[in-house]
Structure formats: C-alpha cells, structure tokens
Structure 1
C-alpha cells in the first residue's frame, strides 16, 4: 500500500507540475504575442519582444512555440489583449501591484477583486500604492560571469545605475529610458542575459509576521494562478523560517 501511495503522490506532483508549466508557457506566449503585435517580429529590433523571448527561453519554452507566438502576434487574427495594472493592500497592509494582460477586463477585475477580498486584502485605485515602488530596467546574469567587483566595474562602464549580487545572480538596474542601451551593452560584453525586462520594485520591504505571511502567500498564489495575471509584486519580506516551511 505504501508503494502504491508513493506512486500516486509522484503522479499527482508530476501532473501538478505539468499543469503549472503549461500555465507558465501560456502566460509567456501571451506576452510574446502582445510584444510582436506592437512592433516588428524581429527581437533584435523590438525591445519588448526581445525581453519576452529571453524570458521564454529561460523557462525552456520550445523554439517552435516561441516562433508560433511571434507569427500569431503579426497576424490579423491575433487576440487583442489589454494591459491593466491593479493596486491594493494584501494581508498585514502589504502593498501589491498586479500586472495583467487580458481579453476581458470585466472578468479579470472581478477575479482580482475576489482574490483580495478572500484573503483579507483590499483592492484600491490605480496609484494607491504605486508611489511605494520604482519602475526599473532589470538585467540578470548568472554568478559565473564574474565577481561582484567585476560586475560593479562593468555596471559603471555600461551606464547601469547599480548592480546587486547575491547567492544566485548578478542583477543590473537602470532607468526604463536606458534599459535597451544598457542591456545591449551588457550583452555585447557578457552574452545573452538570463532575463531582462522593466519591472516594479519596492522602495523598501517590510518583514511580515509568519501568520500574515502564510495568508499573503496564498493570495499571491491565487493571483498568479489566474491566466490573466502576468506578475505580482509586493513590498514584503518573509522570514527564513516561513520560507523553509513553505519549501517543505
């Protein structure tokens, strides 16, 4: 019985992982379609498309799927997606920004509002929490590209505002206006970036109690599980104990 139970659990986890991967590919393809529709189909001459393709490749999206999404964006029958940003407060007063691409504003607004309400949050007006975040160009590279000192010197050379190095990666930051120039200069020196894009980043992060953090994570998971939601950003920091618990 134990062996059967183990096999069942493995199959369940595999099915769940495959479903999550399919959902991720769907969201990545949606961004590629929108980026392609807004400009040229060549990533070298379409900054947003380039970032979308890099993100897709970093998640091992097959080349033919990427190419189909680009062609779909150029075709006249491509879906029309609206970019919408929702802002609000999650559990414990954590500020959250939810970025969406949707073909049905009414549906998406209802889903996002319902998620906030279910977990003790409150959806606000656009701009209600946005002032707590900065909009930055972000370009990341793996640690094997060089030391923290090497990356700092390179950041100054290419015009990045700063570079953060942690135990996982080097992260170069710049203004949205300089994003394309900085990314291209970095890629000329280091090769293709692991990821790149223009994202919201909190000006400061607040440590939340573990009981609040668990509820907050549930809210974020529900939001991210929504097909229309591309990204959720918040000004929170979870304790090491909670992160370890969630990773079990």
Structure 2
C-alpha cells in the first residue's frame, strides 16, 4: 500500500498529457472505478487541464481534482524551491500560534491582563520575541466574539518516507476538523498516521533560540551561549552540493533550559546578534536519520502541505 501511495505522489508531479502520450495503457483512478486512457485522451485533447476534472464529471465520472506541480529533483533544488517565502510563512505561523494562546487565556481567565496572569505572561513573551502588540490586541477582541471557543492543543504522530518520522503540533477550536484535515493531507501525499507513542519517544522538548549562521561567527556564538548557560549549540547540517545561497540559510540552534532562556536572549541582544522570533520551544530529534533524495523531496512536500493547514502550528522530523 505504501508503494502505491508513493507512486501516486510521484505521478501527480508530471504533466497529464505527457503521461497519456507515453503510456497508452495508463488509467486514472476515481471514486467509482477506473477511467481508461481513451476517456482521458478524449478529454485532454479538446480541453485545457483546468477543465479536465469538471468535463469528466459531466460524463458521470466522479474524479478527484489533482493539481499538477513541477518535479523537485535532488536535495539542492528542493531547498531552493522551498526557500521563497519561508521566513514570512514561519512568522505567520508564530503570530497565529500566539493569537490562539491569547484567545485560550482569555477564555480561562478573562480579557484583563491585570487580573489574568496567563495574559500577563503572554504579554511578556510577545515583548521578548519582538512580536507586534497589535497581535495581542486583535486576539483579545477576537476572544470576546460570540461563538469563539477556546483552543485545544493536539499532537499527531506520522510516518513519512524512507523511515523518517514526524510530529505534527495542532492548536484548534474544532478537533474533528483538524484531524480530518491532517488525514486528508496524509492520504494525498503519502504519509501514514502512527499510533500514539510510536514516534514521540524519538524527540525531546527543548527551549531553542535560532541564530542565522551568516549573522555570527561560530566561535563567538559558542562562547556567548555557553557562558550564558546554554546546554548545547547545534550546528546546521552541511551538504556537498550546497551553494553560497544555501549556506546563507543555515541556522544554529542554541538549546537551553527554561530558566536560562531569557538570559540567552538578553545576552544575544547585548552582543547585537540577531535571532529568529519563534515560539522558543521545539521538538528536537534524539538522533537523525539520512534518507535518499527522493524520500527527502517527498517528505518536504508532505511537511509543507501540513504546515499550510490553519490548525497546524509546527511539524518536526528526525530526517537529517
């Protein structure tokens, strides 16, 4: 079953016309059975791809829409393809997660920070991470809206390609909606939901500060971090085919305890070292596994699609 899913994921990446032309015996799956190549050829020869599924439906076939995307070949090209907008997406996820925390805190203790210690803590966190206060104010108002429920945190464990494991962190006001959306992505992109505890033991929770490698001298960062009480500084992975652009997107991870976290940030600011404004908490793999380029590309696509879901806050993997 797994090999069929992998084949389906790869198949989606190629233009439909070229597949039909080169594979006269190709069949397209749909909910009521199989659609023969003759039916596909008849449609695609006279219709653009965007009209493909609707025209088949008009013939009585229930076809699931599949978007065609370019093939991402190899580790380097995949990293380059995924870099555009990555930082903006990361920041948007952070703002969304903070917003959910504000709403939940209001639901539990009211909208006044003076009488709600949870909101006071969140205000300190927002200031610490240089997050615009407008995010806080907007979600205070949102928490007061009729019908707005508190958010519940859920964790889903996933098997990816090549033996890689993933943990999907979700914060949602509708659990049934979030789990259905995650399962739909796994169905479409070849992942598999794992039993509770099957994957989580491969990770550990840690407070982490991310620092762009190009913004700091390695030895300087090590000295500053360890002097400030950091537990470890994880160096970014390096690959033989890395370009200068790839190298500019590497990040050091400063691992620290909760007690030392604020001190680390203060020391970095004191030394004028820029750091990423993230949640300050991550799941780190106990050990990393290496997968081939094909599995890496498929896992990246799967993770990207999971992160596109509104309820998903973070996706972690033990893939190297």
- Provide the TM-score with structure 1 as the length reference: 0.69
Describe the shift of the 1:183–1:71 C-alpha distance in structure 2 as closer, same or farther (beyond 3 A). farther
Other-structure match for 1:40: 119
Alignment correspondent of 1:98: 168
* 1:41–1:71 Cα change, 3 Å: farther
Q: Name the counterpart of 2:140.
A: 71
- Aligned residues of 2:185 and 2:306 also touching (Cα < 8 A): yes
Match of 2:205 among 131, 135, 140: 135
Higher helix content, 1 or 2: 1
Please give the per-residue CA displacement for 1:130-184, whole angstroms capped at 9, x wherever unaligned.
1111211111234576422222221222110112355434431113x33534444
Corresponding residue SS for 2:219? helix
Which of the numbers 188, 191, 202 marks the counterpart of 1:121? 191
Contact 1:101-1:230 at 8 Å conserved across structures? yes
- Contact 1:94–1:236 under 8 Å retained in 2: yes
Structure-2 separation of matches of 1:80 and 1:231:
19
Contact between 1:33 and 1:73, CA under 8 Å: does it hold in 2?
no
Shifted more, 154-163 versus 188-197: the winner is 188-197
- The structure-2 alpha-carbon separation of the partners of 1:181 and 1:109, relative to structure 1 and needing over 3 Å to count, comes to same
**Distance in 2, Cα, partners of 1:216 & 1:143:** 24
For 2:299 and 2:224, how far apart are their aligned partners in 1? 37
Aligned residues of 2:169 and 2:314 also touching (Cα < 8 A): yes
Counterpart among 300, 304, 308 of residue 217 in structure 1: 300
- Tell me the residue number matched to 1:157: 227
Q: Which has the higher strand share?
A: 1
> Separation in 1 of the partners of 2:211 and 2:260?
15
Residue among 196, 204, 207 paired with 2:287: 204
Q: 1:23 to 1:150 in 2, by over 3 A?
A: closer
1:30-81 Cα offsets, whole Å, 9 max, x none, are 3122333432257563x3x456x54xx5xxxxx4752433533664755421
The offset of 1:112, in angstroms, is 1.2
CA distance in 2, matches of 1:71, 1:222: 29
Structure with higher Rg: it is 2
Deviations 1:90-139 (A, max 9, x none): 12221110011111111111221232233333212332101111211111
Secondary structure of residue in 2 paired with 1:31: helix
Q: Structure 2: which 5+ residue stretches go unaligned?
A: 1-83, 106-117, 237-246
